[in-house]
Structure 1
Amino acid sequence: MLQPFGSDLWLCDGPTVTGAAGFRFPTRMVVIRLPDDGGLWVWSPVAVSQELRAEIDALGPVRHLIAPNNLHYTFLAEWAAAYPLARVHAAPGLSETVAGTSIHHRLGNVPDPEWSDALDQVLVPGNRITTEIVFFHRDSSTVIVTDWVQQIPSGWFRGWRALVARLDLMTAASPSVPRKFRLATTDKTAARKAVQYILEWEPERLVFAHGAPRATDGLQTLRNAFQWLLR
């Protein structure tokens, strides 16, 4: 269930979800306890269970539910129903109809005042597939990426999907930006500016939705992943 990954930061791996063309993806949630009132900030929620709810409730009250791009919303409505006092924050492009729940706030480059003391964020623009918000948790020096960086384990996919995943760099030997996201980047100047902002955080740790988290070398891992855009 919840696994500590830094100061007031926990990870939770959830069930697989099925996307386009039958591709299955692992899921991961990040929970951060905010310093002001001990409220919880829940990023990319995974499936709700009684056991997980008990662990979450033991940490503190859920204040914020985060959909960091328009692809990561599968369990958002479940959490909104379970925690009706929590505010739902979503990246541009995710509608309430698709999410299945009310959206109280649209994420952008400016952190919400309720978490600005603990987290920084930047919107990565200029991509036809998705607009993603990348976050930085200061106390644990952790960057939180959703789909822009991936490293799904080799052998996760089978048959023709394994070939597509390998060619797309989803299962590359090191964390990488999938080729489909590179090709879908229509405004490289804007995307490059956002990535440079991320690198200025100089993170020690790195968490992404689809791949093993990195407790060290976060900055260098990101530099390597975005070399195609920065050169």
Structure 2
Amino acid sequence: MSSKLIPPNPDEVMVIRDITPNVVTFSVPFLRFGRIPIGGRGTLIRLTSGALAVFSPVAHTAAAAAKVASLGGDVRYLIATDIEHHIFLSEWAAAYPNAKLIGPEGLPEKRQATEGDPRIGKEQFAVVVGKGNDGRDARVIGEDFGLDFEMEYFREHPNREVVFWYRPDKVVVQADLVFNLPATEQYSTVPEKERPKLGVLGKVFSSFQTTAGDALGMKRFLWYVASRNDRAGFNESVARMATWDFDTIVPCHGETIVGDGKAVFEKVFAWHLEGKGAKK
């Protein structure tokens, strides 16, 4: 049940941060496997048209609603950036009934098959990325959306990642393609004594999900796990992302990478970009 995956008091622990005047993040605690603190993060972006897009929404709290209202309140797009980050789509859809739901192929069926979870509804998706489209043309989501965004669909990734580049502010929004642990911001409002300890499993997991240092653990994870289904196709998607002009990466888990996002991207995906394979 989704109730086991979310904090019981999201409004008290949520951190709302303006990354740019048009890009806002909502960060909350989240435990992977119920044990590892990886945090969660939703992103709100104001398009040039004035419309708002919400990516990987977290809880729709009073503070989150107030932030949306401060940016005009016209929520036009609710986007699940992979097949995992969708729990709060129904909550946001109820609050903004005119918004279009967007997600990758496989997600509508997953939600329809979910029984007994009151948070997950049966809403219809306006656009299914990768179903009848190549997953690269952002105009399938909306004309105004396509003017501001480019997207890349990693159908080879186990979670079917859809990555978005918001051109006006040079920001990349993604879910699980890249973690950036530890989840410092996402646990910053949790009292020290209540913060979960990593433990052995957490330390091992985190070693593969950090961009710090040479990021060798993450390189290995991306090469041997994330891209194992079709490495050639995965590499093509990475290469297209490398042509994007961005300096910030907003991940769902761990710290937002502000200023040096492109350099970090090139580091962690070096094996895919160079075409040389794993060296170690």
Q: TM-score, normalised by structure 1?
A: 0.88
Which of 202, 222, 226 is equivalent to 2:265?
A: 222
Mapped partners of 2:46, 2:16: distance in 1: 13
In 1, Cα distance between the equivalents of 2:69 and 2:267?
A: 38
Could you tell me which runs of 5 or more consecutive residues in structure 2 were left unpaired when the two chains were aligned.
1-14, 115-119, 130-134, 185-195, 275-280
What is the identity, as a one-letter code, of the residue corresponding to 1:126?
E
Give matches, 1:4-153, under 5 Å: 4-14=18-28, 16-20=29-33, 22-36=35-49, 38-60=50-72, 61-95=74-108, 96-97=111-112, 98=114, 99-102=120-123, 103-107=125-129, 108-111=135-138, 112=141, 113-127=143-157, 129-153=158-182
Aligned CA-pair RMSD = 2.3
CA shift for structure 1 position 173:
2.4
**Hey, what's the Cα distance between the residues in 2 that align with 1:55 and 1:225?**
33
Q: Which has the bigger relative contact order, CA under 8 A and spacing at least 6?
A: 2
In structure 2, do the counterparts of structure 1 residues 75 and 200 end up closer, same or farther at CA, with 3 Å as the change threshold? same
Cα distance change of structure 1 residues 32 and 21 upon mapping to structure 2, 3 Å threshold? closer
SS state at 2:94 partner? helix
Q: Return the offset for 1:219.
A: 1.3
- In structure 1, how many angstroms separate the alpha carbons of the residues matched to 2:76 and 2:269? 33
In the alignment, the residues of structure 2 paired with residue 24 and residue 100 of structure 1 have an alpha-carbon distance, to the nearest angstrom, of: 27
Instruction: State which of 158, 174, 199 in structure 2 corresponds to 1:159.
Output: 199
Whether contact under 8 Å (1:148, 1:178) holds in the other structure is no
Which shows bigger deviation, 180-189 or 27-36?
180-189
What SS does the corresponding residue of 2:39 show, helix, strand or coil? strand
Residue 192 in structure 1 maps to residue 240 in structure 2: no
- Residue 257 of structure 2 aligns to a residue whose secondary structure is coil
Say if 1:9 and 1:32, in contact at 8 Å, map to a contact too.
Answer: yes
Residues 181 and 86 (structure 1 numbering): CA distance in 2 closer, same or farther, change over 3 Å?
farther
- SS of structure 2 residue aligned to 1:170: coil
Alignment-mate amino acid for residue 211 of structure 1: G
The answer to whether structure 1 residue 170 and structure 2 residue 212 are counterparts is no
Shift of 1:170: 1.7
Counterpart residue identity of residue 206, structure 1? I
**Structure whose residues are more often strand by fraction:** 1
Cα pair 2:75 2:99 within 8 Å, conserved: yes
Write the deviation string for residues 72-100 of structure 1: whole angstroms up to 9, x where unpaired: 11211111111111111011221232453
Higher Rg of the two aligned structures? 2
Q: 1:181 to 1:44 in 2, by over 3 A?
A: farther
Q: 1:154 to 1:79 in 2, by over 3 A?
A: closer
**Deviation digits for residues 55-88 of structure 1, max 9, x if unmatched?**
2122121111010100111211111111111111
Percent identical residues: 26
Q: Shift of the alpha carbon at 1:43?
A: 0.5
Shift in CA distance, 39/177, structure 1 to aligned 2, threshold 3 Å:
farther
Residues 172 and 9 (structure 1), Cα distance of their counterparts in 2 relative to 1, 3 Å cut: closer
Match of 2:12 in 1: none
Structure 2 residue aligned with 1:202: 245
C-alpha distance in 2, partners of 1:143/1:230? 18
Q: Is the 8 A contact 2:38 2:182 kept in 1?
A: no
Within 2, Cα distance between the matches of 1:154 and 1:7?
Answer: 23
Post-superposition shift, 1:161?
Answer: 2.2
* Structure number having the greater helix percentage: 2
